[in-house]
Structures are given as C-alpha cells and as structure tokens.
Structure 1
C-alpha cells in the first residue's frame, strides 16, 4: 500500500519533472538556432573550441550560459580586443562580464602579458624588432612595466601612462594580426576592437553571415591621413580570412617589417591599413554608420542614423558598456518573443537613450551642435572653423540675423528654420551653433554669465519626425558586394 508520505513524494517528483520540461522548452525557444534571423549556413550551434586550445578562459561556453540565451553562437568569428596594461584592469573586466561572455572565442592583446580573472592577455609587442626598440623612448612604458616589481599602476606613477601608452599603441596592430592568425588560423572573420569598443554581437553575426569570407575584405569606418583611407581602430575593423591569409600566411614576419614605419607614424590602425595594402592589395571598405565611432550619448540621430543596424560603438566606459548590455539583452528578448526578430537599429538607441530625456533646454551642457554657426564677426577674431560654417549674411532671415545675441535668440532662429536645417542648438559666449541631427551630448563645467554653455532641442520638430519615421520599411545594411 502507498503511504501518504510516498504519494506526496511521488507527486512532488512528477511536478518537478513537468516544471523542468516546461522550462527547457521555454528556454529552447530563445536559442539562436531557432531564430531565423541568426541561422547561417554550415556553422554549428554548439561548436567545440578550435583545435589546440580550451577556450579563452575560465567560463562556461556561451551555449551553457543563461545570460546568453537567444544569442547566436557561431564558430567562424573571432574577436580580438586591444588594450594596454595601464588601463586593462579598468576596462577588460567589464567586457568579460558582459559582451565577451557570449562570444564563443576571443583573444585579448596588450603591451604586457597578464591574466585578468583567469583570462590570458597576450603581449602584442613580444616580437617587435630590437632595431625598432633600441634607444626608442616610445618603449619607455613597455620597459618600465616589464621591470615593475609591484602593480603596474604603482610603477606608472613614475611616468605619464596616457601619453606613453598612445606612443606605444601604434606598434601593436600589425603584430596583433600576425599573432592572431598563427594562434587561430581557421576563422572566417577577424574582428579587431579596442577595450572601450562595444560589440553588438547578434547584429554582427547576422551581418557577417551575409558576406563571403573567401573574398578579400577589410571593413571599417573610414578615416584619412594624408589622403590615405583606413579603418578607424576604435570603431573596430573586420578582416576576412582571405585578407588575413594574404597578409600573414603569405608574408612571414610581416609585423617586424612595419616596426620602423610605425615609429614615424601616428597610429597603429593606419599602419595596419598600409600593411594590408602593401602586402595583400586590400583597401578599406566604408561601413559607416554600421561600424561606428560614436556611442549612445554622441550618436547623431536623424535620416543618416536611423534605420541602420549598428555593430560597434566606441569610447564606452564600464558603466556605459554595462548599461547598454542590459538594454541589448532586453531588446533581444523582446524581439524573440515577438516572433519576428530584427536587428537592433540606431533608431532603437534613440528611443531608449534620448527620447526619454528630450527637453527644450539644458544648462551647462554640450549637445555637439556644430553644423552651422552664427556670430557677430565684428565682436572679436573668430577661428577659421567657425567662419567656414557660416551662411552668407544675405541668406539670413530676420531671426537668424540676431541669433548670436543670446540663447533665446539662438533658439528662436533654430525654430524658424525647416527641420533639415535645424533641430537643435547650442549657445555659448556669443556663438550660436545649430545642428541638423539630434544628439544627447554631455555635461560641461559650469560657467557664469555669457560663457555658460546652453543646449536646446526643438522638441516639436523632433517628435514629429520620429513619429513619421517610427517604422523602418527597409533595414539599411551597408552596401557591399558579398
């Protein structure tokens, strides 16, 4: 006969089993393999680590991490993160606790070999030529850190790590690519970012799934030095396996070939582009605004930044990375629950970050208005940048003629113009600045009187435009032949 106790135990066991089945079914619906947006041909959902290594560190595989539920887990994309020993413990831990925990494989490079929470950090400069290092003050920081008997931060009080770190950084990029390809030669895509770059992993995976890694690609947000185009390193740049093979596999020792060139150049991302062009005949392809150097507070929202998916942002501090990570995960859950998931677009960042904070005026604030300036030319000598962005005086309307007098005059002039001429303004020290995009901006030090920085937004224009553009009929991925 069954006792009351045995019946109770059996019922509890049955209930627990049903609960487990229901939970696993629910979680199964959130996995990337069930999401048509992130299915890509030929790449397994739970891939084993690449041969010869056990993964990047002491963490569960993303497929086993509940924080990564619903995230794509491809086996063909490698993230390479660049940092410096003087900043690594301030920046890398947050990346490891957020974005990188859902990236199946990644490498971290610095200017010193370290371990952060059990994760290896590789010395990108270990193979720099002796000729480039000897007598070169650019390597003072490198030598001091290697000789430091205590914590790096303590030893760096003897120098200027910000300036020294910048001088040292330019030697890293080509060596990082060379070491990366030797350590992980089997990937389709190599994504190079800085430690203050935010990677929107689901968007990135979806986008790269559309492209052909067997073609030579070097994708970035283009900037120029002396007319030469290269991908801005902080925004991140992406290199296909065909390009990496042509650069590294077919050019042994390519890193050292550019050490002396790096000494006389400003920036490592520029030197990397030179190396790719010289050795692989690959030039950067413009992927802005999808690869982006701004962040939520500085993104210029409007027709040029709206229905575009975004895969990177830059200059994100630890708090900003954590906050955006929480937003991105919430957005992802909502999209999967809708049954029609789509990429996170720039307009979604507006609705999350700027729309709730939109107001007519903000004191001691810089909203980055700089498309057009209004000043009294006779009041003082203005810089060329200001004068170059002024309309001819004979094109002013009556309110524009007095826009320079005060913040209220600047606001009135902005309101008198159509939306494609002005949706926000900033007034400071006799200068009225207007902008065609709307930007959140940042606080600035308080100043008294005329020198106080006052920013304002034409809320009515912005709300009318965003309501009209509420739905994106077409998602605007960058134009690129696969």
Structure 2
C-alpha cells in the first residue's frame, strides 16, 4: 500500500502543476486588442489632426456671381485641398478644372414651372440656353436682389446637402460654406479631430442678417438623412415655402428627423473678418476657424499670412491675437476722416461704453461710464482717452443709434478695438429732413498695445 501511494502522489502533483500552468496561460490572454484587430464598428476613434481628404468643403454660389466669386476662391485655396473642394450653384458650368453643380436640377419640371419662388432659376436656365450674360439676371436694387437670392437659397439648402453627399459619400465631415468665407484649415482639421464623426454633430455660426453661413455636419448626420431616409428630401420639397430662410429649412429637418439642434461655435466660426473682429479681453486667445464677409484683397492677405506661419517651427494655432498683431498693429491709427471703426456697429453692443448721467454721477452705477462727448470729435476723443476702458471712438455728424441705453448719439465709444472701413459721406433722412452723414474715427492704440503685450495666450508675441 505504501508503495502504491508513493506512485500516486507524484502523478497528482504533475496534474496539479499542468492545471496551474494552463490557468495562468489562459489568464494571460490579452483582454484588449489593437485597433487593427477589432472590427471597424468597435474601434474607438483616436482624437487627432485629420487629413485634408477627410473634410469635404462644399461652397455654394449663384450663377450671376460665380465668375466674380469662384476664381479668387480657387486660386486662394491651397492645392492640397482641391480634391476635397466642391462648388455648388444653380446652373452647371465649369471654372477651370472645377465643375459647378446645379443643385436644383433634381426638382421636377412641373415643380419649377409652377412655383413662383423658382422664377430666378427659370430665368437662369433661359439665359444659359440663349447665351445671355448672367450678370443681367441681377436686380438693380441690391435689397431686392438679396431677397431673390435668399428665397432661392431655401430651395437649394437640402439639395446642396444631397449633392455634396452623392459626390463625396462616406467622408467623416462636411463643411457647407460660401465664397466669402475664409477657412483656417489647420485649425479646422485639428478641431474636428476631437469629435467622433459617426455621432450626430451639427455645428454652425450664429445666424446674422448679412453674414454667410458656415455649417458643419458629421458623417453620422449625413448618413441618417441621406441613406437611412432616402425619401426625406423629396418629402420636404413642398414644405419649403413657409420657412423664413435656408438655415431654418435645415434646422427644421434635422430637429424633426434626428432631434438635434445646431451647436453654435462662436467666435471660432463667426461673421467677423480681420477688419471687423472686436479685439480685446473677450476675443483674444480664441482660435480662428472660419471668418466671413471677406473681400478678395483681405483673403489674399490671409493667404500670405498663413504661408508665412507655415515657415515658422512649432507654430501654435492661429488665434485672434495673431490677427491683431498682423493686421492692426502695423496700421497708422491716427484719427481718420470718412472712416467708421464700428464703435456703434450693430452686433457690437456688448462692447459699447455708456455715458455718465448727472443723476448717476458718483454712484455705483456710473462705474466704467464715460463723460459725454457730443460737442465735437475732439470732445469725443477726449472722452475716450479719459476712460480707462475705452480703446476707440467714432464721431458721426448726426446722431446715430448705439443699440443700447445711450440712444442716438454723435459720440460712440468702445472697449473693443476694430479696424472698420472707409465710408463716404451719404445723405440720410432725419425726421423728414435730409442731412449729410459723415464719420470720423480714432483709436487708443498705445493703451491697447500695452495691454496686448501683457497677454500670453501661447508663445510670447513680438
């Protein structure tokens, strides 16, 4: 018996040893996998800078403006982005190697013929067939022309989205924009790289009456309305007329279909340009992704500026501070005649400086207020220089609105710095009488520059 037990014990020990080895071998199996080992549906996107071909930029224009708007756009778009650039309009034509798509050509003939809102499109097709200069399509009254184009844009909106997807399906991101919008591509590529493109993402700039829209849609949104609901766009064809504008058409569709609303991206995406941005503490270190209302000469300056930056090693993301140092610091900002620096401009109310009132003098409510400077442009200048928050002023020959409790004034003060533009004298109606409106503007450049040099968004400014 003793001899048998001596034989069995080593056998049991051997079985136990093998079992333990097997257990540790199995428990050592990897519990995580490299992305390449996982199916696509289970891979987690890694945030990072995207490649140019991952973002499709679709630019909308109109036939009457295509020859003035598109050639500069194409020339000032780096060739690295040409393959991901689409041009959309209301008649099919070519601009060099690029084709401008007619996004309205999928509407039925009866829809086009019977809809009074499509009159401009009908005339465009007639002009194309008869070789009439498209410039003659335009209304002489600018406000009327703007209204005609805004009406047609409502019918373009969904068809613009549709054609963009059909030409470049399954891309991570789609940017819908207009020719006078400048995209800072490096910032755009790195910003969108932080989001999952298969989620429902709808980014936009705050709607402004005279601003071009920049809309960003993710692949997840595009697939949901283009692939999962192929009947969606035709369904909405007869429900467009009642909407106020093109942006409302899109927001209605995305909310009713996907229950999403636009995420406003401001000031990164805005209707500002380097000449109209309100530089200051509230808008300094923010990155610049898209600027609109950009005249061709300013877009050209931005093109050169960005290429200068490419040659600098380890350069940071472009922000509003960079725009001020590049575009405004070199300017002679002595007082200028026939110049409006937007101190009273619509949309800049939050930076206006209120005037002191006798009943509020020496009260807490008067803190930060300036003394009135209505008497002359010199008095307005002095009012600004004596107020520690004021960095610019403008003086109008007749009282003009400030959109704040100052009411209509001749002197307009601001705590943000804006360049503005030349404005020729013009006739205005004041209480039934004609008056000549002129502007004079000035800046507290040294005060602002002293503040700017103390800011450190990133690497020190020169």
Same structural fold, with TM-score higher than 0.5 when normalized by the shorter chain: yes
CA distance in 2 between counterparts of 1:145 and 1:447 reads: 34
Q: Is the 8 A contact 1:307 1:474 kept in 2?
A: no
CA distance in 1 between counterparts of 2:301 and 2:440 reads: 27
Once the two structures are superposed, the pairs formed by residues 262-277 of structure 1 within 5 Å of their partners are: 262-277=240-255
**Residues 1:129 and 1:392: Cα distance change in structure 2 (over 3 Å):** farther
Matched, 1:394 2:359: yes
Match of 1:293 in 2: 271
Q: Is the 8 A contact 1:233 1:269 kept in 2?
A: no
269-278 vs 216-225, greater mean Cα deviation: 216-225
CA distance in 2 between counterparts of 1:95 and 1:454 reads: 33
**Residues 1:252 and 1:436: Cα distance change in structure 2 (over 3 Å):** same
Shift of 1:461: 1.6
Shift of 1:123: 0.8
Q: Is the 8 A contact 2:112 2:118 kept in 1?
A: yes
2:324 to 334, 350, 355: 350
Once the two structures are superposed, the pairs formed by residues 227-238 of structure 1 within 5 Å of their partners are: 234-238=212-216
CA distance in 2 between counterparts of 1:466 and 1:473 reads: 13
Q: Deviations over 1:85-117 (max 9, x none)?
A: 010110111111112533141211101111111
Q: Deviations over 1:264-308 (max 9, x none)?
A: 333212211111111122211121111121111111111122111
Which has the higher Rg, Structure 1 or Structure 2? 2
Once the two structures are superposed, the pairs formed by residues 76-475 of structure 1 within 5 Å of their partners are: 76-99=54-77, 101-103=79-81, 104-128=83-107, 133-148=112-127, 149-153=130-134, 155-156=136-137, 162-223=146-207, 234-334=212-312, 338=313, 340-370=314-344, 393-395=358-360, 400-419=370-389, 422-428=390-396, 429-430=398-399, 431-446=410-425, 451-469=437-455, 471-473=456-458
Shift of 1:262: 2.7
Equivalenced residue count is 383
**Residues 1:329 and 1:244: Cα distance change in structure 2 (over 3 Å):** same
Q: Deviations over 1:49-68 (max 9, x none)?
A: xxxxxxxxxxxxxxxxxxxx
**Residues 1:157 and 1:216: Cα distance change in structure 2 (over 3 Å):** closer
Q: Deviations over 1:343-395 (max 9, x none)?
A: 111111111111111423111101111289xxxxxxxxxxxx9x997665533
DSSP 3-state at the match of 1:219: strand
Q: Is the 8 A contact 1:371 1:433 kept in 2?
A: no
* TM-score using structure 2 length: 0.75
Q: Is the 8 A contact 2:356 2:372 kept in 1?
A: no
Shift of 1:408: 1.1
Shift of 1:74: 3.1
Q: Is the 8 A contact 2:353 2:414 kept in 1?
A: no
5+ long unaligned stretches in structure 2: 1-44, 400-409, 428-434
CA RMSD of aligned residues (A): 3.2
Shift of 1:224: 8.3
**Residues 1:173 and 1:233: Cα distance change in structure 2 (over 3 Å):** farther
CA distance in 2 between counterparts of 1:100 and 1:119 reads: 14
* TM-score using structure 1 length: 0.72
CA distance in 2 between counterparts of 1:369 and 1:388 reads: 9
**Residues 1:224 and 1:120: Cα distance change in structure 2 (over 3 Å):** closer
Shift of 1:318: 2.2
